[in-house]
Structure 1
Amino acid sequence: MKKKLAIVVPSMRGGGAERVVLNIVSNLDREKYDIRLILIKKEGPYVKFLPQDITIIDLNSSRVRNSIIKLIKELNRFKPHTILSTLGHLNLVILGIRGLLKGRPNIIVREANTPSVNLNGLSPIKKTIMLFLYRSLYPKAHTIIAQCKSMKDDITSFFHISKDKVIHIYNPLDLEKINANKSIEENPYNTDNINILAVGRLTYQKGFDILLEAFKIVTKQVPNTHLTILGEGGLKEDLLRKVEELNIAKQVSIVDFKSNPYPYYYYADTYVLSSRWEGFPNTLLEALACGTKVVANDCKSGPKEILQDNKYGILVEELGAAPLATGILNSIFGENLSQDRAHYYSIERIIKEYEQTL
């Protein structure tokens, strides 16, 4: 008999967690699972890529907290064996309503960010409240999925949770899809330039302000460089102002989200991950899958594990514009180290780990 699996996610916006959910629901064995994807709001660019052979439920709520009653009713109507939730606030809500769910389903939560760094960005009062909620509710989960080994260690120590409850499963890469799409469109760059790429939501976490300062340093030594930042978010106007202040407007492009970003990776000369912190950076994996040279800040968590220190790319150990600029310049003038690292994260391998856990 198939296991009833409910996967709950706020939306299908263009973030890393949503891309992981898309990969999971597209590749789980249909002979084993009856899948119901529950969206707090059915929106975002990944909606059109969802498979047609699963049931999709739209709670049509603007916020997670406004959807709680609808969520309880839907879960009790479906009566899943297992619930998989991914993204912090929603994880807490599902664990909080656990006692109201029929059939006592196993609840598996996937943590999207490194907690110690993510919560430290909150005000003292908010941090105290969130820390209390996590430490109270996360132990009630059947399993907690961390995205890498260092995140697992962070969760167990920061939330005071037994190591036996936390496992790590790396994010999956659909290499077949990436290879099929990376060169089907024209080169988006001016080939007279050395083209640098960064991808991600335009938020403080992603460190694009640091990247712009680093890129300014790079342009002084390599004038024919061009930086493309691919993403959307609340800091777009701030970043555009910084571009003007640094007098690099002619050498920087901020491009909105693309449903097929792979040509941007494939044709770039170097990909840069400038994040202050991460969960496990999908964009770095995608760049490696496209065979692109990579530079990454050694932030919590993920880059060090992905790049194996400096084996598969350049790891910048100190956060700041000058060290990042040095890393970018070393990449521009250095060899490509990416090799076949991306195959370690192939979806065929990772989906088996998810199925064993589910």
Structure 2
Amino acid sequence: MSAPEQVAAPRVALLISGLGLGGVQRTMLTLAGGLADRGLAVDLLVPDEHGPFRDQIPANVRLVNLTRWWLRLPVIRARKRRKALLMAPAIADYLRRERPAALLSASHYVNLAALWGRALAGTGTRLVISQRTQLSVAITNSKLPILRRRPLLAWMTRRYYPRADAIVAVSDGVADDLAAVAHLPRERVVTVYNPTDLAAIAQRAAEPAPHPWLADGGAPVIVAVGRLAAQKDFSTLLRAFARLRTQRAARLLILGEGRLRAPLEALAAELGVADAVALPGYAENPFAALARADLYVMSSRYEGLPGALIQALACGCRIVSTDCPSGPAEILDHGRYGLLTPVGDVEALAGAMQTALATPPDPPRQRERAAFFSVPRAVDAYLDLLLGAAAGNFRQPAG
């Protein structure tokens, strides 16, 4: 009797806006590697194969460059949203050629391109779209330059999102917001928390400290991580830090880069705390800083599911965070694993930092909470969404 014919592993594709720095890119790369580790053939689709995360693509994931001549035009290359929306024909070509079992896309403009690409392809590929941030913020917050011309976005999501086979949000807050804005039944939106590679974080946390303050035994070091952008509201953090400094010695290390560097440096000087504030730029390994920080603070105005907050838990940090929409309250279990303060409240943030620094640290407890956001848990959930009944062959074994 001949041996049974071996069935090829299902192919799934993950679509992102590029390989630039960002939480979406980091988490989707982690998910791609997790799915590939379960035996699936995984393609990572991007409109441009260049970027800082190019070298972090898992070895068992195939990179597929969707670049076409129109995506190289200067007017398109300079506008990430335009590039995302114009990927649809290239996505259609890929779907017709490779016939993956399922396609997963991440973030609203990429989701729209995936929906249009599948329609053009006519292949009936199962499509799962993932909302990463508060859609209402992207539509209504006209104070931020990056969030203009958004009534069209609201209309497009209401028209096209219902055509997806499954809709994922990275937190319950994002899911609630998406259901309201896109006029979707709430039960249509499934919450799947982002995967966090806890083993990799533990390994990298043991590497040398990325800044002298973290190893000199001096005053406590408060660490913040994120782009120097309005969303992160580091100006409120600086004002709260200045108020804290009137009560006790402390230093503030902000890891990140962005357009607001000069205004933030000027504000630190104006507040008289420039000597106790450092902005060393983007940190390729923030975990080595988080593992040595006396306190991690997040001052954001809004988020989806802030990965840095989970990473801080994984590093055993004491935590203070704004209770912004959305994610912090869910991650910190409504204050059990870190202090929550109102958005933009300088006095409350300063007081919470003072309280946290006076509270004995409990790293094992923080790391135990981080395990709730593990890679296996997320991969199992996405397998079910992408493959349905066939997912059982690739799920994590019990125990």
Structure 1 and Structure 2 fold alike (TM over 0.5): yes
SS in 2 for 1:109: strand
Summarize the alignment of residues 256-275 of structure 1 with structure 2, pairs less than 5 Å apart.
Answer: 256-275=281-300
Please state how far the C-alpha of 1:292 moved relative to its aligned partner. 0.6
Deviations 1:156-194 (A, max 9, x none): 122110223210011111111111110221363242021
Give the equivalent residue in structure 1 for 2:313: 288
Summarize the alignment of residues 1-358 of structure 1 with structure 2, pairs less than 5 Å apart.
Answer: 1-30=8-37, 32-60=39-67, 61=71, 62=77, 63-122=83-142, 126-186=149-209, 188=211, 189=213, 190-222=216-248, 224-317=249-342, 319-336=344-361, 339=365, 340-358=368-386
Matched residues in 1 for 2:58 and 2:118: separation?
28
Please state how far the C-alpha of 1:217 moved relative to its aligned partner. 0.8
Counterpart residue identity of residue 119, structure 1: I
Counterpart residue identity of residue 138, structure 1: Y
Matched residues in 2 for 1:42 and 1:214: separation?
41
Under a length normalisation based on structure 2, what TM-score does the superposition of the two structures give? 0.84
Change (3 A) 1:201 1:318: closer
Please state how far the C-alpha of 1:29 moved relative to its aligned partner. 4.2
Change (3 A) 1:148 1:181: same
Percentage identity across aligned positions? Answer: 29
Matched residues in 2 for 1:302 and 1:294: separation?
14
Please state how far the C-alpha of 1:35 moved relative to its aligned partner. 1.1
Number of aligned residues: 357
Counterpart residue identity of residue 166, structure 2: T
Change (3 A) 1:107 1:204: same
Contact 1:2 1:31 in 2 (8 A): no
- Larger mean CA deviation between 101-110 and 240-249 belongs to 240-249
Deviations 1:60-101 (A, max 9, x none): 442324544333323322222211111221111221333111
Please state how far the C-alpha of 1:233 moved relative to its aligned partner. 2.0
Taking only aligned residues, the RMSD between alpha carbons, in angstroms, comes to 1.9
Please state how far the C-alpha of 1:5 moved relative to its aligned partner. 1.0
Matched residues in 2 for 1:69 and 1:244: separation?
50
Under a length normalisation based on structure 1, what TM-score does the superposition of the two structures give? 0.94
Please state how far the C-alpha of 1:295 moved relative to its aligned partner. 0.3
Matched residues in 2 for 1:236 and 1:143: separation?
40
Please state how far the C-alpha of 1:261 moved relative to its aligned partner. 1.3
Contact 2:9 2:41 in 1 (8 A): yes
Matched residues in 2 for 1:44 and 1:214: separation?
35
Structure 1's consecutive aligned runs of 4 or more residues displaced over 6 angstroms after TM superposition are none
SS in 2 for 1:97: helix
Deviations 1:228-265 (A, max 9, x none): 11112222222222222222221111122222211110
Change (3 A) 1:318 1:29: closer
Q: Which runs of 5+ in 1 are unaligned?
A: none
Give the equivalent residue in structure 1 for 2:5: none
Matched residues in 2 for 1:49 and 1:64: separation?
21
Please state how far the C-alpha of 1:13 moved relative to its aligned partner. 2.1
Matched residues in 1 for 2:97 and 2:381: separation?
28
Contact 1:11 1:40 in 2 (8 A): yes
Deviations 1:118-170 (A, max 9, x none): 32213797232111011111111111111112221221122110223210011
Contact 1:36 1:57 in 2 (8 A): yes
Change (3 A) 1:139 1:65: closer
Matched residues in 2 for 1:208 and 1:193: separation?
21
Matched residues in 1 for 2:374 and 2:40: separation?
21
Please state how far the C-alpha of 1:16 moved relative to its aligned partner. 1.1
Change (3 A) 1:140 1:146: same
- Larger mean CA deviation between 30-39 and 135-144 belongs to 30-39
Change (3 A) 1:294 1:125: closer
Counterpart residue identity of residue 334, structure 1: T
Matched residues in 1 for 2:57 and 2:148: separation?
39
Q: Which runs of 5+ in 2 are unaligned?
A: 1-7, 72-76, 78-82, 387-399
